[in-house]
Amino acid sequence: MKRRDFIAGALVMALPKPAPKYRILDPHVHVWVNDPRYPWARETTEPPKDNETPSMLLDLMKANGVARTVLVQFIGYRWDNRYTLDSMRKHKPYFRAVCRVNPADPAAPDQLSKLTEQGFHGVRLSPSADASGDWIRGPLMPPLWKRAQSLKVPMQIYAPITRMPDLVPLMDQCPGLDVVIDHMADCPVDQPKELDKLIALARFPRVFVKISHTWSISRQPYPWLDAQEYVKRLYAVYGPERLMWGTDWPVCKRWTTYEKTLAVVRDDMKFLNERDKSWILSKTVERVWPFA
């Protein structure tokens, strides 16, 4: 290679990446603080030692070109949504927020109505794989799902892949409800057949999937190509219009950095074109969580 060609190539590589023609929206983060004004739920026997605050998050967003984000109520507070609510209100217009309600409480639909009036847009449920999560098949679920549908707020589900069939009867009853499946249902990377349970939900046109957690299910280093195979399969059936990314900050810090959770989608999912990324990084999120 001629010296001038080498220098020209190096200069090209050194140029900053052009800014996308869309604003990047992160649909999944958490915030928490050790503060007696916001006590931990009694079930939280080992609360986080470090604070993970909105101001810390905003610094990361600014450094990485992320314009807006969705705060998801941290399970350590259980059904006390005050810290998430106060964070959202203090830092408008940067945040929207998703609440939690107690799925074992018959009053949960009314609680969701109240929280929606306060400014939350969506509710998250997390049924576990064992019998303690069987409430997802119980009689309290249809009223809660129907209330979310009537309020026009999304139902966000964080559940293992084995729970995906349990969602079908509820979605059959609520065809007008947006349902967001978090983190590809954390399908184990060595059980690819199990992903069919999530793929089967693509027949419901209002189901969306977060292609996050590539970093936690992968058994390989960045860019987690083994987990990207799941993203490819979901992309083939859902299309980019029903996929969205997500940092899951600060949970992601156990495996990787905020920067890499964005870069893997923006730069290193080579099967995505620019239009695909405009949906996954922005427009799909905006469909479910409209921002000002």
Q: 47-103, pLDDT tens digit by residue?
A: 999 999 999 999 999 999 999 999 999 999 999 999 999 999 999 999 999 999 999
- Which residues make beta-bridge pairs with 193? none
Tens digits of pLDDT across the chain (292 residues): 455 544 444 444 455 666 778 999 999 999 999 999 999 999 999 999 999 999 999 999 999 999 999 999 999 999 999 999 999 999 999 999 999 999 999 999 999 999 999 999 999 999 999 999 999 999 999 999 999 999 999 999 999 999 999 999 999 999 999 999 999 999 999 999 999 999 999 999 999 999 999 999 999 999 999 999 999 999 999 999 999 999 999 999 999 999 999 999 999 999 999 999 999 999 999 999 999 8
Look at the block and give the residue holding tokens 């799925």.
Answer: 103
| Residue 282 burial (CB count, 10 A) | 21
Closest CA to 125 of 56, 180, 85, 193: 180
In tens, the pLDDT along 103-127 reads: 999 999 999 999 999 999 999 999 9
Q: How far apart are the first and last CA of the chain?
A: 51
Q: Can you give the C-alpha Rg of the chain in angstroms? A: 20
Long-range contacts of 265-269 (CB under 8 A, 24+ apart): 265/211, 266/20, 266/24, 267/17, 268/222, 268/223, 269/223, 269/228, 269/231
Closest CA to 65 of 242, 277, 254, 238: 277
What is the CATH number assigned to the segment(s) 22-288?
A: 3.20.20.140
Query: Is there a contact between 163 and 129 (Cβ–Cβ < 8 Å)?
Result: yes
Query: Is there a contact between 250 and 185 (Cβ–Cβ < 8 Å)?
Result: no
